[in-house]
Amino acid sequence: MSQQAIRAGSFTPSAPAATAFGVLVAISFCHFSNDLLQSLLPAIYPNLKIALGLSFAQVGFVTLAYQITASLLQPLIGLFADKRPTPLALPLGTLFAMAGLCVLAVSHNYAMLILGACLLGVASSVFHPEASRVARMASGGKPGLAQSVFQVGGNLGSALGPLAAALIVVRSGQTSLVFFALFALFSTAVLWFVARWYRNHGIARLAAATRSLTRDGAFPRSTVVTGITILLVLIFSKYFYQVSLTNYLTFYLIERFGVSVQASQLHLFMFVAAIAVGTIAGGPLGDRFGRKYIIWFSILGTLPFALALPYASLFWTGPLTIAIGLILASAFPAIVVYAQELVPGKVGAVSGMFFGFAFGMAGLGAAVLGLLADRTGIETVYKICAFLPAIGLLAAFLPRIERPQAD
């Protein structure tokens, strides 16, 4: 390959470009920044509930506003990016997160709280499909690994959000969210350099990878429809259950065991930290053994721990939530890459669809579970949600579209 071709970022299926780990680390860091800022919202729910006199249902609808804003826009932005790549959308989109946190810092009524949540949703809607495209561009033939590196940054950000809220926001007050808004500016600068690589190298790399995937022709329509439908149902199962923990674990621990707000947020931190660890394992394992098997194990494997959680003591609640986070999180990188390979050439649209649907299901779950908690109690919510991972049995019907990697 000529030096000119290398500079252009082009490659052929027989000589794939190397994995661009520098780009993956940069986009993972920006995912860390994005999701840390996003996770501050649910982390401060206990404080906002007291300060604004919110019901569980109102808390759930704040999450719904955030998640629905993101879920409706993400597929559209991904589809647009497939047709007309826009590298500068990445740094510009981060500014919405900064604006959202500034609004939340001064929110003293429910309407402003909803507005701040929606601005955070817009930031996610721009970031996730475009950043997922960049991860695929930089994968160098290891898409599962690339998705895991990309997503683990977000999970680490989600893990540190409750911890940051416990250490800073709870102590310094709601206005301290402005400090975190300034963190978005640094992320914007990093994304500026990522956007330059995207424009100069990434677009050509993604086009070549798409040609490699489609050289044997497209999958039959029935295979695509079956695969996408089952994956979306599994996303419903995964995120409805996951939001019961990310949104309401603090309330559950406070109500059932009488722990402090800060102690409950530390438990939430352990859960989302376990999600981060599970995510980094799921992608490479999918590359090695086949994504269908990782999806099957991840969602269905959560079931025994989920069933035990509502009846566990405070001591055992920690280990159970950690186990749930580790196992459940390994599914999403495998699901996204499986869908991308099922519909090659539509990386942005597919990524936007699945990230958007995940956000939508999390938002809908937060609202529905909030209403249920108001009517029946938070402990009942966990007893009902414990059966959701059983939907993972549907993974058995996923079409086989890949072979495990050889050693």
pLDDT in tens, 248-274: 898 899 999 998 887 888 888 888 888
CATH code for the domain in which residue 234 is found: 1.20.1250.20
Tell me the backbone φ, ψ of residue 197, rounded to 5 degrees: -65, -40
Residue 358 lies in a domain: yes
Q: What is the reported pLDDT for 319?
A: 94
Centroid of chain to Cα 261: 25
Residue 175 lies in a domain: yes
Quick check: 211 pLDDT over 90? no
Q: What is the reported pLDDT for 6?
A: 31
Quick check: 115 pLDDT over 90? yes
Which are the contacts of 232, defined by CB distance < 8 A and separation ≥ 6? Answer: 354, 357
Quick check: 169 pLDDT over 80? no
Residue 330 lies in a domain: yes
Please state, in angstroms and rounded to a whole number, the distance separating the CA atoms of residues 386 and 309.
8
- List the beta bridge partners of residue 12: 15
For the CA atoms of 74, 80, 85, 91, the dihedral, rounded to the nearest 10 degrees, stands at: -40
Residue 5 lies in a domain: no
Q: In 237-369, at which residue ranges do the beta strands (DSSP E only) sit?
A: none
Query: Residue 151 half-sphere exposure, CB side, CA atoms within 13 Å?
Result: 31
Which are the contacts of 210, defined by CB distance < 8 A and separation ≥ 6? Answer: 344, 345, 347
Q: How far apart are the first and last CA of the chain?
A: 26
Residue 316 lies in a domain: yes
Span 226-248, average pLDDT: 89
Quick check: 316 pLDDT over 90? yes
Question: For 86-95, 113-122, 312-321, which range has the lowest pLDDT when averaged over its residues?
Answer: 86-95
Span 133-149, average pLDDT: 85
pLDDT category of residue 1 using cuts at 50, 70 and 90: very low
Which are the contacts of 300, defined by CB distance < 8 A and separation ≥ 6? Answer: 389, 390, 392, 393, 395
Q: How many domains does the chain have?
A: 1
DSSP for residue 311: G
Q: Which residue has the higher pLDDT, 401 or 346?
A: 346
pTM (2 decimals)? 0.69
Q: What is the reported pLDDT for 216?
A: 55
Q: What is the reported pLDDT for 217?
A: 57
Quick check: 210 pLDDT over 60? yes
Q: What is the reported pLDDT for 323?
A: 94
Of 72-81, 310-319, 365-374, give the range with the top mean pLDDT.
310-319
Residue 190 lies in a domain: yes
Which are the contacts of 81, defined by CB distance < 8 A and separation ≥ 6? Answer: 89, 129, 130, 133, 348, 352
Which long-range CB contacts under 8 A does 221-228 form with residues at least 24 apart?
A: 223/342, 223/399, 223/401, 224/342, 224/343, 226/397, 226/398, 226/399, 227/338, 227/339, 227/342, 227/398, 227/399, 227/401, 228/339, 228/342, 228/343
Q: Which residue has the higher pLDDT, 282 or 217?
A: 282
The answer to whether 64 and 359 are in contact (CB under 8 A) is no
Which are the contacts of 112, defined by CB distance < 8 A and separation ≥ 6? Answer: 103, 104, 106
pLDDT category of residue 12 using cuts at 50, 70 and 90: very low
What is the number of other CB atoms lying within 10 angstroms of the CB of residue 245?
Answer: 23
Of 15-24, 137-146, 187-196, 267-276, give the range with the top mean pLDDT.
187-196
Please state, in angstroms and rounded to a whole number, the distance separating the CA atoms of residues 262 and 164.
11
What confidence tens digit (pLDDT) does each residue in 65-93 have? 887 787 778 888 888 877 888 888 889 88
Question: For 53-67, 130-144, 169-183, which range has the lowest pLDDT when averaged over its residues?
Answer: 169-183
Q: What is the reported pLDDT for 407?
A: 37
Residue 339 belongs to domain spanning: 18-397
Tell me the backbone φ, ψ of residue 17, rounded to 5 degrees: -65, 150
Residue 289: is it exposed, middle or buried by C-beta count within 10 angstroms (0-12/13-18/19+)?
A: middle
pLDDT category of residue 406 using cuts at 50, 70 and 90: very low
Mean pLDDT for the chain?
A: 82
What confidence tens digit (pLDDT) does each residue in 157-167 have? 877 777 777 77
Residue 4 lies in a domain: no
pLDDT > 90: percent of the chain: 18
Quick check: 173 pLDDT over 80? no
Quick check: 363 pLDDT over 90? no
Quick check: 291 pLDDT over 70? yes
Residue 227 lies in a domain: yes
Q: Is 295 helix (H, G, I), strand (E, B) or coil?
A: helix
- Angle at alpha carbon of residue 199, lines to 346 and 201, rounded to 5°: 85
